[in-house]
Structure 1
Amino acid sequence: MQWDLSAWLHLAGTPYESLPSYLSSLGIGLLIGVERERKQHTLAGIRTFPLVCMLGTLLTMLVPSLGSAWLPAAGLLAVAAMGILPATNRAPDEPHEPRTTTVIALLVAYSLGVMIALGNIELAVALGVLTTGLLYLKPELSSFTHKLLRYDLLALLQFATLTFIILPVLPNHGFGPYAAFNPHRIWLLVVLIVGVGLAGYLAVKILGEKVGAPLLGFMGGLVSTTATSLVYAREAARNPSSQQLAARVILLANMVLFLRLQVLTMAISPAATLPMLGIMLPGMALGVLTIFISQRRSQQQENAPELELKNPAQLNIALGFAALFAVVMLCSAWLKDIFGNSGLYIMALVSGINDVDAIALTSLEMFGQQQVALQPLLVTVTIAVLVNTAFKFSLIFSIAGRELAMRCLPTLAMAMVGMLGGLALSVLL
């Protein structure tokens, strides 16, 4: 239900019927103007921006009365001409805000005023907030761009190209044996899983070593639980004093795996959201509870080693995901045709050793296409997580030794117990 300020104030039919539009323009202009006013010797500030925004609304509303559709365009040119005004007096060594940013902000404010006059008030307000955010967060955005390496930018460009240019033109129907190769669906799954990993990678890149173990574990879990376990197992092997930190990061990353699988389920097969939650939530809850109990007496602070993770948006990694998904989908369809649901379980045992996402996404995709029932889906995902967890535990034990492995064992074991308990309950129900 849309809130109509004009109707609430009974302004319809009065000379003040358009007052809410001008108030909206005033508010947007003030919001942007307050941010600009904080800059030294800026071209426009807390008075100019509201006036410019209301000018856009005023000239647009005058078009029907004056019969001139060029009024808004003329106003836009007049605002743009403000960019050639001379700068205010200031000392030569005094810092100043680049004029181009303020001029563009003025043009945006004017255009938002035009949008309000055309009736797009909600969108104009949202864009005004986003504009103010971009202006205010300049230091953070600049710092972020300087932390990205050249190959990070190249990988982001590749990912954007393959997502927004290639994905829409891929055929969305099955090819080959069992019609298992659907290029559009396969790449859509790639975009989803790489996008989740990319979010974690960028967060680690931005925050660096300033974050603590909980956030490092969370972000590392978004990127790759196996990679995170490997990085911190090696760190613990090199530096025995970091055992406690390594255990916290590894365990938290492995708890994030449950959350990641639940989010993927919601995105791919919404019908399986609640049943999947029934096995993911007990596993994550028992694991987190075990972490809390084992760590509550320890207050020691340690320096966090940097997470040396690969950018998951790199082209070769994305193509590797696509090839892996295609192979897993074909093998899963073939094994299911020969062995029934047992074929999926065999595939989960094999592919789960190195990666959970491929078999989990494949089984979710098959469930969405009604090629597999709910219970085999839950069993397949559970098997993959169990096998993957056992593999990571053996990795930790072989690299870092018995001490770190024993620190991780209770949490990993309780998480698996919780997951199996949730699966057993879902079968009984």
Structure 2
Amino acid sequence: MTETQEILLRLAAAALGGLAVGIEREWSARRDADHSRFGGVRTFLLLGLAGGLAAAVGREDPRIGLVVLAGAAALVVVAYLVSAWKGTIDATTEVAAVVVLGAGLLAGTGRLVLASAVFALTALVLAEKGRMHAAVERIQSAELEAGARFAVLALVVLPLLPAEPWGPYGGIEPRRLWILVLIFAGLSFAGYIALRVAGPERGYGLAGLLGGVVSSTAVTLNFARESRGHESLARALGLGALAASTILPVRVLVLSGALNLEVARALAPAVLPALVAGAGAVALALRSRDRSATREEVLPGNPLRLGAAIQMTLLFVAVLLVLAAVRDRFGSAGLLGTSALLGLTDLDALTYSMSKLAASGTPAATAARALLIGMISNTLFKAALALALGAPAFRRVCLTGLAVFGAALGAGLLLI
């Protein structure tokens, strides 16, 4: 390809990108009957082309390119000032024009993939105006505050933490521990949003499935208690608890994969029988369509659950030290016994700890076996909760399903 052909290709990409955005802006103006809006198909096509020309000319003399770019940008600013003088305060079209100008500049410098992505994203954002505004209107103050806190924790606090391990056995890595806090808090937030979007109208089965992303033990506890006061819903609540338990192996598998891929590979075949066994319970739960519950009954009060995440961080330190000491003293057998005890209450801590130990020398198969034993003990604990707190119908459904699920987990031990 000659130099002239290459320049023409870049200019064509810049012009076509501007054309795509211009089509959306002109269509939107006609839909809204806004005849005073700045720019349409031709204007945006020319703005993209102007950006491409500025880059092309700037190769010979950067000053000329800057003049072209500054002139086009000045026209956009003047257009906005005129609109503001007329009482129009929506600057979306003018801002889109600036973005098109910049993307045209990228195309002119040869960054065609990046420029195309910017053009496409700009057109999508403009076209999805209605859905974006509707989504913002549904956001509650607690969710907005939780999102802002999460951003601060991820973008401000995390970079300040040291990455070097310290302490006995080198088991404390502040930055890695904080990443786990963010993962758990993010899982809680995602589960909260999923519950809000789906709602309980699809039944307690779907609510339990989504709630299991946050905590299957908490779902079992809450549903067991609720079944005492709502005997007619006890069966649906039991199916919801089973759905929450079915999602547990997926959560452990995803978390272990994010921390140590070798552990996840060893664990995946072992949890497959449990997932297959739980699929029937999930299918039945999703068919249970009780619409008498309100959204507030299944939504956790705190979307982020940051306090719980920080408490888990403190627990991780102790867990790492205990498991490291057990491994040194008793070997793999002691490690598996400790995993059974820890799995009763905190599989997240166990998952992190096993992934960490596997990275420091423990065989991945041993770590996967420990995680499976922890899931079995956690299933037994939830069965005890159902037996002690659930209504008779809840106990029948939940205990039967958990027995099959636990047996499938036990069979998975033979696959490691």
Runs of 4+ in 1 over 6 A off after TM superposition: none
Of 373, 377, 400, 2:367 maps to: 377
The letter of the residue matching 2:22 is: G
Q: 1:197 maps to what in 2?
A: 188
Q: 2:80 maps to what in 1?
A: 83
Secondary structure of the structure 1 residue equivalent to 2:91: helix
Q: How far off its partner does 1:385 sit?
A: 0.8
What TM-score comes out, normalization by structure 1 length?
A: 0.84
Cα gap change, 1:81 to 1:332, in 2 (>3 Å)? same
1:57 aligns with 2:48: no
The letter of the residue matching 2:236 is: L
Q: 2:2 maps to what in 1?
A: 13
Aligned-partner Cα distance in 2 for 1:303–1:32 = 46
The letter of the residue matching 2:348 is: D
* Aligned 8 A contact 2:205 2:282 in 1: no
1:234 aligns with 2:231: no
Secondary structure of the structure 2 residue equivalent to 1:43: coil
Aligned-partner Cα distance in 1 for 2:277–2:19 = 50
Cα gap change, 1:47 to 1:74, in 2 (>3 Å)? closer
Of 119, 127, 150, 2:110 maps to: 119
RMSD of aligned C-alpha atoms? 2.9
Aligned-partner Cα distance in 2 for 1:290–1:315 = 31
Of 321, 336, 350, 1:345 maps to: 336
Q: How far off its partner does 1:366 sit?
A: 0.8
Q: How far off its partner does 1:213 sit?
A: 5.1
Of 287, 293, 314, 1:323 maps to: 314
Of 160, 164, 180, 1:169 maps to: 160
**1:21-40 alignment runs, 5 A limit:** 21-36=10-25, 37-39=27-29, 40=32
Cα gap change, 1:383 to 1:123, in 2 (>3 Å)? same
* Aligned 8 A contact 1:364 1:377 in 2: yes
Quick one: percent identity of the two aligned structures? 27
The letter of the residue matching 1:278 is: P
* Aligned 8 A contact 2:212 2:248 in 1: yes
Q: How far off its partner does 1:308 sit?
A: 2.4
Aligned-partner Cα distance in 2 for 1:212–1:31 = 43
Q: 1:4 maps to what in 2?
A: none
Query: Gapped runs of 5+ residues in structure 2?
Result: none
Q: 1:178 maps to what in 2?
A: 169
Where is the helix percentage greater, Structure 1 or Structure 2?
2
Query: Gapped runs of 5+ residues in structure 1?
Result: 1-11
Secondary structure of the structure 2 residue equivalent to 1:38: helix
The letter of the residue matching 1:44 is: G
* Aligned 8 A contact 2:205 2:285 in 1: no
Cα gap change, 1:109 to 1:381, in 2 (>3 Å)? same
* Aligned 8 A contact 2:56 2:65 in 1: no
- Describe the superposition over 1:8-62 as per-residue Cα deviations: whole angstroms up to 9, x where unpaired: xxxx237544333233224432433343322421433344333322221122212
Q: 2:210 maps to what in 1?
A: 219
* Aligned 8 A contact 1:288 1:411 in 2: no
1:406 aligns with 2:401: no
Number of residue-to-residue matches in the alignment: 406
Cα gap change, 1:195 to 1:87, in 2 (>3 Å)? closer
Cα gap change, 1:174 to 1:241, in 2 (>3 Å)? same
* Range with bigger deviation, 122-131 or 142-151: 142-151
Secondary structure of the structure 2 residue equivalent to 1:246: helix
Secondary structure of the structure 2 residue equivalent to 1:85: helix
The letter of the residue matching 1:338 is: R
